Amino acid sequence: MKKKSHIKNIRNIGIIAHIDAGKTTVTERILYYTGRSHKIGEVHDGEAVMDWMPDEQERGITITSAVTTCHWKGCAVHIIDTPGHVDFTIEVERSLRVLDGAIGVFCAVGGVEPQSETVWRQADKYRVPKIAFVNKLDRVGADFFGTIEMMKERLRANPLILQLPVGAEDDFTGVIDLINMKQIVWEDETLGATYTAEEIPPSLLDSATEYHEKLIETIAEVDDDIMEDYLSETPIATENLIAAIRRATIDLKLVPVLCGSALKNKGIQPLLDAIVLCLPSPVDIPPIKGVHPETGESIVCKAKDTEPLAALIFKVAMVEGRKLSYVRIYSGTMNARADTYNPSRKINEKLSRILGMHANKRERIDAAGAGSIVGVVGLKESTTGETLCSMDHPVLLEKMEFYEPVISVAVEPKTHADQEKFDQVLEKFMAEDPTLKLKKDEDTGQTILSGMGELHLEVIISRMQREFKTNVNVGKPQVVYRETIEKEGRASAVFDKEVAGQRHFAEVTLRLLPLDRGVEKRFRSEVDNEIIPDSFIPAIKEGVMESLESGALMGYPVVDVEAVLIGGAYKESLSTALAYKVSASMACKTALENGEPFLLDPIMTVEIFISEAFVGDVIGDLNSRGGKIESIEHKMGVNVIKAIVPLSRMFGYSTSLRSATQGRGTFTMQFSHFDRS
């Protein structure tokens, strides 16, 4: 492996975008031009290095974020290629949590698409500096400036145009570099590996000069040094311009915009230059903060190898049956075969191996320093979102947030041989994917698997069969509903039984009140200490909250209710915490039934992209599904219909949309909220 890079020469970046914008194609070119791979792997051929899973190769999409490292002009660039499909948005979320910079890839035809907005907002949430790459300029309908306008409108971004395209669609030949005022032309014979910087042709010079001036004006608005030179009409040196662009990018004031066509091998080397010149190293961003697990005192983790170790596990994968943990080291040094401490679980973990990652290929390394993203083997209990540190200097980094699943299927093993592996295999998948949930339905005995969408669950089932040779029968997808109540419900319950030779007594009276949508369920007591001693209130609350996990209608979790303890009875020496817990649970179940329970559907935000001719048919279909149209916009030759629709009415929608639009319509869908449909 190449010698360790100085921390100032490390770039931790993610490639983020809507599905089919060309993220993986961009990554494949980066690997080829940096010498990391010796041939270009194409997504459509199923040969992309970063899409190494069989399901990714068959479907032509990225499912799991893959990590690799390449070198460009003295910098080590750690790249995470993230999925674009909304079902796998957790992969983007946990990647952005540990990255220092991101490249947003936009299709010049589709512009800023819905999932682009989602991942951009995720990057904003973690204050990740970004570069934009407008891809697919060789495609029919490509509109570079239209995409820039959409970035301003939809992303509230402040784009800084660093390049102009030369030609468009079939005539796209290269780009104009507005910083150095040169035209860059790539040679097709070398698959874009060689390129030349030429003088700008006279026919393009006026436009290039105009946008060069706009470039300087945009930077001057956010940088005092450039503003000073600009107002005094002092010539601005190129290195000063680049330094100002870097400062503004890292401070999230500007988003540099480059362009090209990754599939046609144009535009990638200047993008690599921009990664090195504009995006931050680990020392250019504020150091991450954690807390002392015992005292709660704030701790700053500086990006230095000499500091105490602070690292975050951002992903867990099962590779060939073994647990591989992906770790971002924020400070200190991690050594192979050394002990580390997990403050969340208060346990020591031994690092048997540290690995440099290149998609599904790995190289063993003895140590890794601050700023590195590595794979670790040997962690037995530690999982996604947990911190690794030294025992002498414990620190707890901020945990990661995960999404709740919205769709379920019943799964069961096909044969007795499958039964033996079934539970073990599902446990491994849940360790990998925090958005995957598993529960046993006590009434039917079925195993219920819940995830983020139909595709998410399809891929899990496919991987069970491919990777673990476990065949399962799968029921139809089921919606994960919630339950609530229409009106106030009251009930009393008495528990008076002998258990294990001891009599237990309790009486509880509860009132359940409906709350507004989206309000957390809660509990309070209005009972005096003489009626029920305060020491038993926690047991009553526990019984109520456990009871609300399973509703009276279909056993779904109950939300948007307040439970109020209004009465009961107590017998000295006979009343116990166990009796109050059981009594509270019984009273809560009856009060739920008395409150006229009903189901809340998961409501999805849907965006549909169609041409003018099909708008009427698509709206009619949405209305028949109980959808509510929120807006219809005309963007870059395409009509975008935004609607909210109950998830239960959206099964098989992709087939309906294709038949209604002659195969031309596309849509995206993500969870919005729970409500009555």
Q: In terms of C-beta density within 10 A (0-12 exposed, 13-18 middle, 19 or more buried), how is residue 181 classed?
A: middle
CA-CA distance, 482 to 501, in Å (whole number)? 40
Looking at residues 172-181, what average pLDDT do you find?
92
Given this model, what pLDDT does residue 18 score? 73
Beta bridge partners of 599: 483
- The model's pTM is 0.67
DSSP type of residue 15: E
Q: Check whether 86 has a pLDDT greater than 80.
A: no
Residue 62's pLDDT band (cuts 50, 70, 90): very low
Q: Check whether 654 has a pLDDT greater than 80.
A: no
Q: Which residue has the tokens 């005092």?
A: 224
Q: Which candidate, 50, 2, 9, 5, places its Cα nearest to that of 26?
A: 50
Given this model, what pLDDT does residue 90 score? 64
Check if the beta carbon of residue 140 is closer than 8 Å to that of residue 109. Answer: yes
Q: Check whether 576 has a pLDDT greater than 70.
A: yes
Count the residues in the chain: 677
Residues of 500-522 as b/e, b for ≥16 C-beta within 10 angstroms? eeeebbbbbbbbbbbbeeeeebe
Residue 112's pLDDT band (cuts 50, 70, 90): confident
CB count, 10 Å around CB of 45? 10
Q: For 607, left (φ over 0), alpha (ψ -120 to 50), or beta?
A: beta
Looking at residues 46-61, what average pLDDT do you find?
44
Looking at residues 229-244, what average pLDDT do you find?
88
Given this model, what pLDDT does residue 545 score? 94
Given this model, what pLDDT does residue 458 score? 79
Looking at residues 184-193, what average pLDDT do you find?
84
Distances (CA, A) of 177 to 182, 215, 278, 289: 5, 11, 15, 39
Q: What is the dihedral of CA 64, 67, 72, 74, to 10 degrees?
A: 160
Which structure tokens are listed for 281? 């190293």
Q: Which candidate, 300, 394, 306, 376, places its Cα nearest to that of 338?
A: 376
Given this model, what pLDDT does residue 269 score? 93
What contacts 362, CB < 8 A, 6 or more positions away?
355, 356, 375
Q: Check whether 53 has a pLDDT greater than 70.
A: no
Percent of residues, the chain, with pLDDT higher than 70: 88
Given this model, what pLDDT does residue 543 score? 95
Q: Check whether 41 has a pLDDT greater than 60.
A: no
What contacts 20, CB < 8 A, 6 or more positions away?
61, 84, 107, 110
- Pairing mode of beta strands 597-610, 482-485: antiparallel
Beta bridge partners of 378: none
Given this model, what pLDDT does residue 276 score? 93
What contacts 573, CB < 8 A, 6 or more positions away?
none
Range with the lowest mean pLDDT among 14-18, 67-71, 592-596, 665-669?
A: 665-669
DSSP type of residue 262: T
Looking at residues 449-458, what average pLDDT do you find?
76
**Tell me: the pLDDT tens digits for 333-391?**
988 888 899 998 889 998 888 888 765 577 888 888 888 888 888 888 888 888 999 98
Given this model, what pLDDT does residue 356 score? 82
Q: Check whether 409 has a pLDDT greater than 80.
A: no
Looking at residues 589-614, what average pLDDT do you find?
88
CA-CA distance, 64 to 60, in Å (whole number)? 12
Looking at residues 84-110, what average pLDDT do you find?
75
Percent of residues, the chain, with pLDDT higher than 90: 34
**Tell me: the pLDDT tens digits for 249-292?**
999 999 999 999 988 889 999 999 999 999 999 999 888 888 99
CA-CA distance, 281 to 287, in Å (whole number)? 11
Residue 83's pLDDT band (cuts 50, 70, 90): low
CA-CA distance, 281 to 262, in Å (whole number)? 25
Range with the lowest mean pLDDT among 41-45, 214-218, 490-494?
A: 41-45
Given this model, what pLDDT does residue 43 score? 45
Residue 633's pLDDT band (cuts 50, 70, 90): confident
Q: Check whether 515 has a pLDDT greater than 80.
A: yes
Check if the beta carbon of residue 465 is closer than 8 Å to that of residue 471. Answer: yes
- Pairing mode of beta strands 361-365, 437-440: unpaired
Task: Specify the long-range contacts of residues 651-655, CB closer than 8 Å, at least 24 apart.
Answer: 651/454, 651/477, 653/625
Residue 535's pLDDT band (cuts 50, 70, 90): very high
Q: Check whether 442 has a pLDDT greater than 90.
A: no
Check if the beta carbon of residue 656 is closer than 8 Å to that of residue 621. Answer: yes
The distance in angstroms from the start CA to the end CA of the chain is 57
* Helices (runs of H) and strands (runs of E) counted in the chain: 15, 38
Q: What is the gyration radius of the CA atoms in the chain, in angstroms? A: 29
Q: In terms of C-beta density within 10 A (0-12 exposed, 13-18 middle, 19 or more buried), how is residue 386 classed?
A: buried
Looking at residues 181-201, what average pLDDT do you find?
88
Q: In terms of C-beta density within 10 A (0-12 exposed, 13-18 middle, 19 or more buried), how is residue 304 classed?
A: middle
Looking at residues 623-637, what average pLDDT do you find?
83
Query: How far out from the chain centre does Cα 512 lie?
Result: 36
Given this model, what pLDDT does residue 42 score? 53
CA-CA distance, 304 to 571, in Å (whole number)? 63
Check if the beta carbon of residue 449 is closer than 8 Å to that of residue 426. Answer: yes
Residue 484's pLDDT band (cuts 50, 70, 90): very high
The angle at the Cα of 62, spanning 58 to 66, to the nearest 5 degrees, equals 120
Q: Check whether 318 has a pLDDT greater than 60.
A: yes
Q: Check whether 45 has a pLDDT greater than 80.
A: no
Which structure tokens are listed for 647? 């998830």
Q: Where are the alpha helices (DSSP H) in 395-529?
A: 416-432, 454-468
CB count, 10 Å around CB of 624? 10
Residue 41 parent element (H or E): none
Mean pLDDT of the chain: 84
3-state secondary structure of 409: strand
Comparison of pLDDT for 246 and 607, the residue scoring more: 246
Q: Check whether 460 has a pLDDT greater than 70.
A: yes
